[in-house]
A and B are shown apart, each in its own frame.
Chain A
Amino acid sequence: MKCRNNSIIVMLIMTITVFTACTKDLDRSPLNSNTSEVQYSTPAGYKAVLAKVYGSYSLVSSSGVGNSDVSISGISDAGNTDFIRAYWNLQELTTDEAVCAWNDGYLQNLHNLNWTSSNVYVNALYSRSLFQITVANEFIRQSTDDALSSRNITEKDAVDVRYYRAEARFLRAYQYWVLMDLFANPPFVTEADPIGKYIPKRIERKDLFTYIESELKAIDSSLVAPRMNEYGRADQGAARALLARLYLNAEVYTGTARYTDAITYAQEVIDAGYTLMPHYKNLFMADNNLNNTEMILPIAYDATSSQNFGGTTFLINSAHSTDATEVSAYGIVSGGWLGNRSTENLPQAFGDYSGAADKRAMFGTGNLKVSSVLDFNDGLKVWKFSNKNSDGTTPYSPNGTLVNTDFPLFRLAEMYLTYIEAVKRGGIGGSDAIALGYFNKLRERGYETTGGNVSSYTLEDVLNERKRELYWEGFRRTDLVRYNYFTSGSYLWPWKAGAAAGTGVDSHFNIFPIPSSDILSNTNLVQNPGY
């Protein structure tokens, strides 16, 4: 009896001892995730994080089309937070190139030129750009030479990682360019700043210009030579093309024109061996990743492996109705979210917009004139992007909606147009004859004959040529701002600022407001004038 009691007490004491030894059980870690030490212990680990730096503008999340890296209050459809979709909304719906029939106040604000700092689509782009910058910063922080040697990355592998690092710096510079162009004075974070509860500084537009310029020049020697990198990754061609674009718009950003520099860098890209594709339409088809001699840097999509309801899936589906003929002709058998159409200013820019002459005019059904923005039948549909292969076959799509077409973020034609415009605007180092030659190269490719060639051109012609060549590729707002047509009354289009015939608005709409949510969270920020 006594013994039995003692043994119970011994058991109790043992139990207590066992229990109290368990506090280390509070250190739990997830099965399927890596700490940074593990992640960056191999070159493949670095490449996977580089993939996320790119994936930040080619996808909405790492977990499928339904989730978003940048969930935004008021946006329930993750596809709206995709980079190209958000960029396109702000660059195209605000202009004569596009209207949208979706009855969504925030979306209608765009063509009406009356957005506010709480506009969710404005926030979507701003957040997406800063997200990619933040991820790029992390990669840059983790890939210094010191970090590589402390993690025993061999010198052979370190060569690759240094290319990755230069590409991350390029993508960061690209997104800072986007922010500078649309928001002027955004927050500014680099690899020197921490991750956590930290309030980033604000940067002014002209200082950001200097930063982007210096970054792009600094990484030039660290990037792979033009056309020599893996498809989908940036090289020296992309960095120089961005510099050319930056200089063409420099006067808007800093007040100082830099057309000579624009010519220099456009010429460098043109001389790097890119050539125009013979058929314009093939640039925007599902197999545009293959043998594409004109592409400088694409955003690559794939209906199976790189799924996204933004990007070209958005551009194609939102331009088509559910009409069975129409959707099967463009490779989206269950597509047709029709919303986006053009105002008549876009087709009219071609004169004959049937496509019979200039094959770049790729318009679908609809009424030429837009009597109601919300009427799906008003405004010609734009059937420029397609999910068909150039041989007429339809690539696989798991749901008949997702597409395989890549988006040209930089392509050769833009460099020709940059050269042409910079020469016309007085830049030094180019020549009028070469510029005219480039101008006609584009028209010959568009007409597929010399029938559209010109013998001279004006600055106004350059803008119209840009519209014909680059429509729906996300350039229009920036171009109109550079020509001072975006907000002023000197160039109008249907329903500009909500008026049927169009009207001018205050010039503060040339830049977007800093989203109110970030003004609230980041006390260093200052709202742009007029908002």
Chain B
Amino acid sequence: MNLKRILRLTSLYLLFSFIVQQVAGQNRTITGSVLNERSNPVVGASVTVKGTSIGTSTDSSGTFTLSVPASANTVVISYVGYANQEITITGRSSFTISLASSGQTLNEVVVIGYGTARRREVTGSIATVTSKDFQQGTITTPEQLIAGKVAGVSITSNGGSPGSGSTIRVRGGASLNASNDPLIVVDGVPLAPSNIYGASNPLSLINPNDIASFTILKDAASTAIYGSRASNGVILITTRKGVSGKPVINFSTQVSVSTLVKEADVLSADEYRKYVDTLGTGNANGVPFKSMVGNASTDWQKVIFKTAITTDNNLSIAGAFKKVPYRVSLGYLNQDGILRTDNLRRTSAGVSLTPTLLDNHLRIDINLKGAINSSRFANGSAVSSSIYFDPTQPVYNTKSPYGGYYEWNLADATNGELSLNKLAPRNPLALLELYRNTSNVKRSYGNAQFDYKFHFLPDLHANLNLGYDVAKGDGKIDVPVYAAQNFLDSGQHNKYNNRVGNSVAEFYFNYNKNIASIKSNINATAGYGYYNNLSTNYNYPSFRANGDTIPGSIPTYAMDKPQNTLISYYGRLIYTYNTKYILAASIRTDGSSRFSPATRWGVFPALAFTWRINQEQFLSNSGSLSDLKLRLSYGVTGNQEGISNYSYLGVYSYSDNSSKVQFGNNYYNLATPSAYDENIRWEQTESYNIGLDYGFFNNRISGSIDAYFKKTKDLLNTTPIPLGSNFAPILLTNVGNIENKGVEFLINASPVRNKHFSWDVSFNAAYNNNKITNLTATQDPTYVGSVQSNGVQINSVGYSPYSFYVYHQQYDKSGKPIEGVYADLNKDGIINSSDLYRYQSPFPKWVLGFTTQLSYDKWSLSTVLRANIGNYLYNNPAVGAIQSNVFNSLGYLVNTLSELTKSSFYYSQASSDYFVQNASFLKMDNLTLGYNAGNIFRNKVGLRINATCQNVFTVTKYTGIDPEIYQGYDNTLYPRPRIYVLGVNLQF
């Protein structure tokens, strides 16, 4: 394909094309087969006569037959994950079409904010991941599909619980106290980060199987059109749509087995007995430690973890009904966590309709999705309890009044009567089995988008997008009266529920005009958006197991209805000269109900310039160079998520019923004035980006390099304010500055590509360095910064956020840390808080991702590896490995990590840098072997089989269970399991 030809190609989704004249005439029939880059048949590809809704789709052998009007001269072939292809049908009736996967083509249509663009003309730093490049295996939440796939996008799962979600960061965080989460837009509808009760993570209600592609907008040139919600990047999710032609049924089923990868390294029962025997010479209130040791040998981690089974079944039908393309999907997931009692069941359904009306002038895109999650949440405290519970005690004790589980008791010195030791760790298995937290969550979201192309001016489109996102979360927690975990409250019988109702309305005009006489293209957009987020959260008293209300727990208010509204106006102009020089400018102004009338409107502009260098004459003879593009951009974005809804208002609210004041014989609820900053406003991020896109050898090697600099001002920081000036000693106010700078590199290559064998590789690397440059309104070098509530991390000027703030441990000659001996860093002769220093950052300097796929005929083998370099982690479980915990005065023994025998600390040395460990790692996320059997059952069914191993291995120096924990504080994570998956996909 020559470049002229490529330039002439346009996309189906870009409806900016010519008016098609439907001329009545004789029909003729064309046939063809559609192959992918490995010459395998493509099933379900859409084949449409250009400019009409006449079309079909390929069958299970990849072939099609289509009756076309005599006047038709072009058909368009499209398939998710591949570039659209147009072929001229004049004078021919049989075709073989090879589709190129979209990662390697410049004609791919990329979704951008409020529109689409062709990859080659994209002005911002945009990454796209389509379904063929998704992570394989058991993926319960959508964001995990792209982990490790995009330079500068780090996705850290929050643990191994089913549906637990992830922390997503695009180019590091831009904020300290407001949200750092990117904006997620599904089919043009921005999702508000509403808290749904009973859902561990709102994204867990989106079925990953319904997703066709992700587009990540990274720099301000591409995100500024989202204005006040864009500082942390924007992730656009496009769901799968219907195709024209006869229905294609796809059924996939997966079964997987999850196992615990690694137990925390605790003392075994025998080691523990020996330890107490050797060192436990003392007593607690007269009870010798040695007498507390039991006879059992219990591996508590084995007791609470299990091998868990997950099944995931998905069925979809895509086709066209009376010329209306549709896709209907159903999914059912049943996932057990490896922690006993943990379970998630999700039933999901989706409908997509994409009719075209009024002579193709009105295109309607309707997406409706719904899911019902039924969860049982395990009591997560069992994980840490399994580390601390004495391994010499049995799991069960037939005489135990606590449901038959062994628990620590205290004996009354006078009458010997036993009572529960309230401060002791609880039996880990009892924590799980006697705690029943079940929830039922329903969520539905969707939109209807109307794109109208004016009859009198086809270059002008009007686009109306109406979206909704509603959810209903209900749950209850039951603990029996005899359970030790709620013994004082006589069990619990509690409930929780809320409702979320968010609505979106957007309207924009788009004008796209080619002016051949001046070699120019103008693409202008102007629009309006209205976003309303309303939750209704119900409050309940606490109940005992028998249904009695616990005194003092009756809530003051039966419910609350937090609400916020955003109104936006936006515009964008993209001017292209001679297909080589592209200038794009956008502006958005947002009004937010979170700010006072004086500060609520913000303006967010962006400017970008792109030079397609390979289009220049002087490079036209360079045969090996297929793409070279320089991108420059600057923009301003904002951040308002994480700022509470009414923080600018000074108001009074009534206190809880447990916080009343007694006057006489009555108790009065307190009317409390709130601290407020009436001038609170957006955080604003200025971003600069320079990027280069390259492609060689017909894009068999392609990629990009980006460098960026982001500077956030008016950063919200909870700073101390002069006492006496407001109703709190600290106030969230706009005072700080933070900087992020980084480099991203991406290369995709296909070293081998022939009839039988192909090999693709993709590698990305991102370097990010963030630094706080200001935190206070007045400059004072004596301000150390804000120490985090965990006591070992600090935000301070000149350092990365959440840097560790610790003493420098001193070691003896054998390399063993000396208890309580730290370096006197300021050399004043005393060791005190002025000797604390900032030691390392929890965030990686480098994040690397590597994907490769080998295909040989029907077989394929693929793997994804990820690495983080330069991230440190505070090993909190190891901090607890001290003698004074084992031999405490509280009447019970606790186990610890075997760290105890290495550092042998007596008292806690929580502020020692000894516990801040290098947590750089290399992980193999998955390894997949696939077999595409092709068509079986008389060529009617396409069969694919996959075997995947997830979480294959981890290479790290970190001594805890898993080095990958966001923000650097290891507090006994729910372990991520290793998962073995077998999947079968059938297509009819």
Q: Which residues of A contact B678 (CB under 8 A)?
A: 196
Asked if A520 CB lies within 8 Å of chain B CBs, one says yes
Size category of the A interface is: 35 or more
A116 in contact with B832 given A19-B528, A19-B530, A71-B728 (CB within 8 Å): yes
Residue from B592, B673, B724 having most chain A Cβ neighbours under 10 A: B724
In the complex, are the beta carbons of B776 and A520 less than 8 A apart? Answer: yes
Q: Which residues of A contact B665 (CB under 8 A)?
A: 231
A307 to B542: give the CA distance in the assembly, Å: 15
A51 to B552: give the CA distance in the assembly, Å: 17
In the complex, are the beta carbons of A23 and B725 less than 8 A apart? Answer: no
A31 in contact with B723 given A127-B729, A398-B489, A516-B782 (CB within 8 Å): no
Asked if A399 CB lies within 8 Å of chain B CBs, one says yes
Stretch from B32-40, B122-130, B783-791 that touches the partner: B783-791
A334 in contact with B488 given A47-B668, A51-B669, A232-B661 (CB within 8 Å): yes
In the complex, are the beta carbons of A48 and B663 less than 8 A apart? Answer: no
In the complex, are the beta carbons of A133 and B652 less than 8 A apart? Answer: no
Closest-by-CB residue of B relative to A65 is B658
Q: Which residues of A contact B889 (CB under 8 A)?
A: 321-322, 338, 376-377
In the complex, are the beta carbons of B724 and A27 less than 8 A apart? Answer: no
A49 to B783: give the CA distance in the assembly, Å: 35
Mark B628-671 against chain A: 1 for CB-CB distance below 8 A, else 0: 00000000000000000110011111111111111111011111
Stretch from B557-565, B684-692, B758-766, B939-947 that touches the partner: B557-565
Contact of A30 among B358, B646, B662, B723 (CB under 8 A): B646
In the complex, are the beta carbons of B722 and A198 less than 8 A apart? Answer: yes
Q: Which residues of B contact A214 (CB under 8 A)?
A: none
A517 in contact with B720 given A33-B646, A72-B729 (CB within 8 Å): yes
Asked if A69 CB lies within 8 Å of chain B CBs, one says yes
Q: State how many angstroms separate the Cβ of A240 from the closest Cβ of chain B.
A: 21
A31 to B517: give the CA distance in the assembly, Å: 60
Mark B376-402 against chain A: 1 for CB-CB distance below 8 A, else 0: 000000000000000000000000000
Near A by CB (< 8 A), chain B positions 674-713 give 674, 677-679
A521 to B775: give the CA distance in the assembly, Å: 12
Asked if B452 CB lies within 8 Å of chain A CBs, one says yes
Asked if B21 CB lies within 8 Å of chain A CBs, one says no
A73 in contact with B651 given A307-B659, A325-B412, A334-B488 (CB within 8 Å): no
In the complex, are the beta carbons of A195 and B671 less than 8 A apart? Answer: no
Contact of A324 among B419, B550, B600, B907 (CB under 8 A): B419
Mark A93-137 against chain B: 1 for CB-CB distance below 8 A, else 0: 000000000010100000000001010000000110011011101
A13 to B903: give the CA distance in the assembly, Å: 74
Contact of A521 among B651, B659, B722 (CB under 8 A): B722
In the complex, are the beta carbons of B551 and A232 less than 8 A apart? Answer: no
Contact of B787 among A39, A73, A116 (CB under 8 A): A73
Q: Which residues of B contact A26 (CB under 8 A)?
A: 565, 567, 591-593, 597, 600
Q: Which residues of B contact A30 (CB under 8 A)?
A: 560, 562, 645-646, 649, 651, 653
Mark B771-814 against chain A: 1 for CB-CB distance below 8 A, else 0: 00000101010110011010100000000000000000000000
A71 to B723: give the CA distance in the assembly, Å: 12
Stretch from A52-60, A274-282, A380-388, A440-448 that touches the partner: A52-60
In the complex, are the beta carbons of B565 and A52 less than 8 A apart? Answer: no
Q: Which residues of B contact A193 (CB under 8 A)?
A: 724-725
Stretch from A146-154, A259-267, A297-305, A415-423 that touches the partner: A297-305
In the complex, are the beta carbons of B659 and A59 less than 8 A apart? Answer: yes
In the complex, are the beta carbons of A134 and B724 less than 8 A apart? Answer: yes
In the complex, are the beta carbons of B730 and A398 less than 8 A apart? Answer: no
Residue from B414, B651, B679, B832 having most chain A Cβ neighbours under 10 A: B651
A113 to B230: give the CA distance in the assembly, Å: 52
In the complex, are the beta carbons of B656 and A64 less than 8 A apart? Answer: yes
Closest-by-CB residue of B relative to A117 is B782
Q: Which residues of A contact B722 (CB under 8 A)?
A: 187, 198-200, 518, 521-522
Asked if B603 CB lies within 8 Å of chain A CBs, one says no
In the complex, are the beta carbons of A396 and B720 less than 8 A apart? Answer: no
A27 to B462: give the CA distance in the assembly, Å: 29
A195 in contact with B729 given A105-B832, A302-B662, A305-B662 (CB within 8 Å): no
Asked if B961 CB lies within 8 Å of chain A CBs, one says no
Q: State how many angstroms separate the Cβ of A141 from the closest Cβ of chain B.
A: 11
Q: Which residues of A contact B791 (CB under 8 A)?
A: 74, 76
Residue from B412, B419, B649, B660 having most chain A Cβ neighbours under 10 A: B660
Contact of A29 among B505, B551, B646, B658 (CB under 8 A): B646
A231 to B666: give the CA distance in the assembly, Å: 9
In the complex, are the beta carbons of B724 and A187 less than 8 A apart? Answer: yes
Closest-by-CB residue of A relative to B672 is A62
Q: State how many angstroms separate the Cβ of B355 from the closest Cβ of chain A.
A: 15
A36 to B557: give the CA distance in the assembly, Å: 19
Q: Which residues of A contact B757 (CB under 8 A)?
A: none
In the complex, are the beta carbons of A324 and B656 less than 8 A apart? Answer: no
Near A by CB (< 8 A), chain B positions 312-331 give none
In the complex, are the beta carbons of B661 and A323 less than 8 A apart? Answer: no
A49 to B668: give the CA distance in the assembly, Å: 10
Asked if A197 CB lies within 8 Å of chain B CBs, one says yes
Size category of the B interface is: 35 or more
A306 in contact with B661 given A195-B727, A520-B720 (CB within 8 Å): yes
In the complex, are the beta carbons of B668 and A48 less than 8 A apart? Answer: yes
Q: Which residues of B contact A33 (CB under 8 A)?
A: 646, 649, 651-653, 674
The dominant DSSP class at the B interface is: loop
A134 to B721: give the CA distance in the assembly, Å: 13
A396 to B488: give the CA distance in the assembly, Å: 12
Closest-by-CB residue of B relative to A198 is B725
Asked if A61 CB lies within 8 Å of chain B CBs, one says yes
A336 to B674: give the CA distance in the assembly, Å: 35
In the complex, are the beta carbons of B670 and A25 less than 8 A apart? Answer: no
Mark B535-567 against chain A: 1 for CB-CB distance below 8 A, else 0: 000000000000000111100110111111101
Contact of B723 among A34, A74, A126 (CB under 8 A): A126
Contact of B729 among A32, A131, A196 (CB under 8 A): A131
A138 to B464: give the CA distance in the assembly, Å: 50
A518 to B719: give the CA distance in the assembly, Å: 11
Q: State how many angstroms separate the Cβ of A231 from the closest Cβ of chain B.
A: 5
In the complex, are the beta carbons of A334 and B671 less than 8 A apart? Answer: no
Q: Which residues of A contact B593 (CB under 8 A)?
A: 25-28
Near A by CB (< 8 A), chain B positions 852-905 give 889-891
In the complex, are the beta carbons of A231 and B505 less than 8 A apart? Answer: no
In the complex, are the beta carbons of A28 and B563 less than 8 A apart? Answer: yes
Asked if A210 CB lies within 8 Å of chain B CBs, one says no
Q: State how many angstroms separate the Cβ of B704 from the closest Cβ of chain A.
A: 38
In the complex, are the beta carbons of A399 and B488 less than 8 A apart? Answer: yes
A32 to B84: give the CA distance in the assembly, Å: 55
Near B by CB (< 8 A), chain A positions 1-16 give 4-5, 8, 12, 15-16
In the complex, are the beta carbons of A62 and B670 less than 8 A apart? Answer: yes
A305 to B729: give the CA distance in the assembly, Å: 26
In the complex, are the beta carbons of A523 and B778 less than 8 A apart? Answer: yes
In the complex, are the beta carbons of A323 and B720 less than 8 A apart? Answer: no
A3 to B787: give the CA distance in the assembly, Å: 67
In the complex, are the beta carbons of A64 and B658 less than 8 A apart? Answer: yes
Contact of A187 among B462, B507, B723 (CB under 8 A): B723
Asked if A452 CB lies within 8 Å of chain B CBs, one says no
In the complex, are the beta carbons of B410 and A322 less than 8 A apart? Answer: yes
Asked if A480 CB lies within 8 Å of chain B CBs, one says no
A521 in contact with B673 given A19-B505, A232-B661, A307-B658 (CB within 8 Å): no
**Besides A105-B833, A232-B663, A289-B662, 14 new A-B residue pairs in contact (Cβ under 8 A), listed by A number:** A12-B452, A15-B507, A23-B567, A25-B593, A26-B593, A35-B652, A51-B670, A52-B661, A55-B655, A307-B658, A324-B410, A324-B411, A324-B417, A518-B729
List 20 A-B pairs, Cβ < 8 Å. Answer: A5-B455, A12-B464, A30-B646, A36-B651, A47-B663, A51-B660, A54-B663, A63-B656, A69-B728, A131-B723, A134-B725, A304-B551, A305-B660, A321-B285, A322-B421, A334-B422, A334-B423, A374-B907, A396-B551, A521-B778
The 3 tightest CB contacts between A and B, nearest first, are A62-B655, A230-B664, A48-B671
